[in-house]
Structure 1
Amino acid sequence: MIFVALLHAVNLGARRKVPMADLRALLSSLGLEGVRTYIQSGNAVFGAGPDPALRGRLEAALEAQFGFPVPVTLRTAHEWREAARDCPAHLRDEAVVLAFLRDPPDPARVAALRGRDVAPERWEIVGQTLCQTVPDGVRNMKLSSGVIERTLGVKVTVRNERTVQAIAAMLDT
């Protein structure tokens, strides 16, 4: 199986550095195959057998190697392609980011998120991905990853649509 691993909140400042060459070496040392990374924001594509403990193994290895906890969100190649394809068309009339939810959200918490006023931003959850417009730019998002995490009670990591599409293209090569 081919997987996409998204590392949360790495390489954003002076701390929490995860060099991509080191990440590739670490993932390869875990027996993952064909490890490739995309840009410096903690995106990796690799092959592995079905393993329900994979996320936990990755997180433990990352913390041991880099000295701080790194939450990981995993998607299969099929799930990634769906997320890249299924962002609602009515949101794509402006800049979009995709927030990858690490775990399925509770419907009551989704309802609470719907109750928040984040205009002019618009959003929709498709599966375990929150597609969101960012009319005022990523730095000015009202519906930030922190707000999403606190409201939904699940870890989240955000990627812009260009990154999502680039990783989808990597899956086809």
Structure 2
Amino acid sequence: MTRFVALLHAVNLGKTRKVPMAQLRDLLGQLGLEDVQTYIQSGNAVFSTSQPPESLRPLLEQALEAEFGFAVPVTLRSADEWAALIAACPPELLTEPVYVGLLGAEPEAQALATLRHRPVAPERWAVAGRTLYQTVPAGVKNLKLSHAVIERVLGVSCTVRNWNSVKKIGEMVSAYGASRRLRRV
């Protein structure tokens, strides 16, 4: 069994695209996923499965569209990938609020170079693999390096979570692993 984090893109942001977390947990359970947990209303789910990772995203996206009536892109990370993305956050960014952009693919070097030339100060950012870390000194509504800019310039899908959510999901993933080890003893 592998533990995964599934991040639903752009749900529960307004009056449309509603995905109640209780209904999401039920749906994931019906798909055979185990130990399903959700975190807040922004579409964060943690679950365990022995299904092959490459089959999960299409399975989830098809089931979500069938259940809720609209397409819901999903970003997946394994528990190990989640722990690595927390560890990879540059400490110098953590001196102010940080948002994490979880990218659908690793951006190409040319796209990163284009983004580096974009004037976004006082915001600061860094990319490690499929993760973009950015500071949010003036608040989310005033971002120069917005979600839309990230997707357009880097040419990859992106969903964003704040650092507190990223850490809390990390705690959920690691607490599950600790409880599994205790049950085996």
Compute the displacement of 1:167 (Å).
0.4
Q: 1:140 aligns with which of 139, 142, 146?
A: 142
The answer to whether structure 1 residue 7 and structure 2 residue 8 are counterparts is yes
The answer to whether structure 1 residue 154 and structure 2 residue 156 are counterparts is yes
Structure 1 match to 2:44? 43
The gaps in structure 1 that reach 5 residues or longer are none
Compute the displacement of 1:80 (Å).
0.5
Q: Secondary structure of 1:53's match?
A: helix
The gaps in structure 2 that reach 5 residues or longer are 176-185
In 2, Cα distance between equivalents of 1:125 and 1:95: 16
Q: 1:169 aligns with which of 165, 168, 171?
A: 171
Compute the displacement of 1:65 (Å).
0.6
Q: Which moved more, 1:144-153 or 1:50-59?
A: 50-59
In 2, Cα distance between equivalents of 1:99 and 1:159: 7
Compute the displacement of 1:95 (Å).
0.8
Structure 1 match to 2:123? 121
Q: Which has the higher helix share?
A: 2
In 1, Cα distance between equivalents of 2:113 and 2:120: 14
Aligned sequence identity (%): 58
- Which TM-score applies when normalising by structure 1? 0.98
Q: How many residue pairs are counted as aligned between the two chains?
A: 173
Structure 2 match to 1:21? 22
Compute the displacement of 1:138 (Å).
1.3
Structure 2 match to 1:108? 110
Query: RMSD of aligned C-alpha atoms?
Result: 0.8
Letter in 1 for 2:71: P
Deviation >3 Å, runs of 4+: none
Q: Secondary structure of 1:92's match?
A: helix
Q: 2:98 aligns with which of 96, 99, 102?
A: 96
Equivalences for residues 26-105 of structure 1 within 5 A: 26-49=27-50, 50-105=52-107
- Which TM-score applies when normalising by structure 2? 0.91
Compute the displacement of 1:51 (Å).
3.3
In 2, Cα distance between equivalents of 1:51 and 1:38: 21
